[in-house]
Structure 1
Amino acid sequence: MNGLFSYKYYDTPEGHDIYKKTFVASKYAALSGLTLASWDVLMFSHPKGFAQTVGRYGFFMGPMVGMAAAFTVTTNVAQNIRGKNDKINYFLGGVAAGSIFGTWLRSVTVAVPACLLLGFAAIVKKSAVDEGWVFFPDTTMAPKSIKSVRHDWTLVKDIEELKTWTTGTKQ
């Protein structure tokens, strides 16, 4: 089971390990849903009792996990059926996720734009993966960063000839 928790979505090619990819995508969707549901419970809905609180968490987490699973399964099944690894597969996955979003809100008026928006967002993600774009680069601490004790906070450097003071020790 350890291999499942260390697995990354792009460790294997598209169309392979669909269960693992679905687990990874659903894991991040569940964490996002947990955050959103906690925010809702604490700030807006204020449910009374355990059952209502669990219901609010389910209201947010269920559709978000469903959207992630629908995207992953649709994208990978489209890859296997079509035999092509292109942006259309990702667009179809975004449409599947958008349709679940519209169903969650019970609105066709929301579903159609959500399908298109998530489909095009998926195309951007596919382009980023194929072309090596980095949205959030890894930052490493430089030896002389703003948090470094060796950072010089002065506006101008000292002029050695103007230093007329001594250290105070007798020699």
Structure 2
Amino acid sequence: MSILRSKYYDHPDGEDAFGKIVATNKYALTAGLAWSTLDVLTLSKPQGYLPTIGRFAYNTGPLMGMATAFTLTTLAATNARGKDDKINYLIGGFAAGGVFGAWKRNHVAGLCAGLFLGIAGVLKKMSIEQGWEFFPKPLKHQYGGVNIASNDYTITAERPRNWTTEEKKEQA
């Protein structure tokens, strides 16, 4: 399997630490690069290449650290406790919140982020256990498009157009 195609739930919790770290850091890297681009273009507006790279590192590095802290702490809690349950995700969320608090140099922000991320982790674990989706895919509507004449916008569908053949049979 390719490293870039690894997903968090390819293996049970407590196994494949490297694959799980890669899976969570893909999302952290994407979010970090998006936020860094927004920061560089609109908020901080650094002058030169090195300050711009520094802003990207300042924003992306801690997000990847939070993802790694969550993954490794959840893995360690699963192996240490011997259980695969929601408490491990709560502990992992607080570990990620601790990294956030250290990044912002504010322990209250870290505690609040840990609580938020812990609850989000518990909800994600519940969605996996119970079979519902945390972020469901949006429904695709059939309205509009290039050939709008083929869409049926009525309440009931039109009857088939073979009624004329039976009418001809009755006349004959």
Same fold by TM-score greater than 0.5: yes
In 1, distance between residues paired with 2:119 and 2:139?
Answer: 32
The sequence identity of aligned pairs, in percent, is 42
Whether 1:147 and 2:164 are equivalent positions in the alignment is no
| 1:1-171 matches, cutoff 5 A | 3-138=2-137, 145-147=142-144, 149=148, 150-152=150-152
Q: TM-score, normalised by structure 2?
A: 0.82
Report the Cα offset of residue 137 of structure 1. 3.1
Report the Cα offset of residue 112 of structure 1. 1.5
Task: Give the partner amino acid of 1:22.
Answer: I
Residues 137/110 of structure 1: CA separation in 2 closer, same or farther (3 Å cut): closer
Contiguous gaps of at least 5 residues in structure 2: 158-172
Structure 1 range deviating more: 10-19 or 132-141: 132-141
Report the Cα offset of residue 152 of structure 1. 4.2
Contiguous gaps of at least 5 residues in structure 1: 158-171
Structure 1 range deviating more: 125-134 or 62-71: 125-134
Report the Cα offset of residue 16 of structure 1. 0.7
What is the match of residue 168 of structure 1?
A: none
CA RMSD across the alignment: 2.2
Task: State the number of aligned residues.
Answer: 154
Report SS of the residue matched to 1:48: coil
Deviations 1:58-93 (A, max 9, x none): 111000000000000100111111110011100110
- Contact kept, 8 Å, 2:123 with 2:134, in 1: the verdict is no
Q: TM-score, normalised by structure 1?
A: 0.82
What is the match of residue 167 of structure 1?
A: none
Task: Give the partner amino acid of 2:127.
Answer: A
In 1, distance between residues paired with 2:154 and 2:83?
Answer: 59
What is the match of residue 163 of structure 1?
A: none
In 2, distance between residues paired with 1:154 and 1:124?
Answer: 40
In 2, distance between residues paired with 1:141 and 1:103?
Answer: 42
Report the Cα offset of residue 136 of structure 1. 3.3
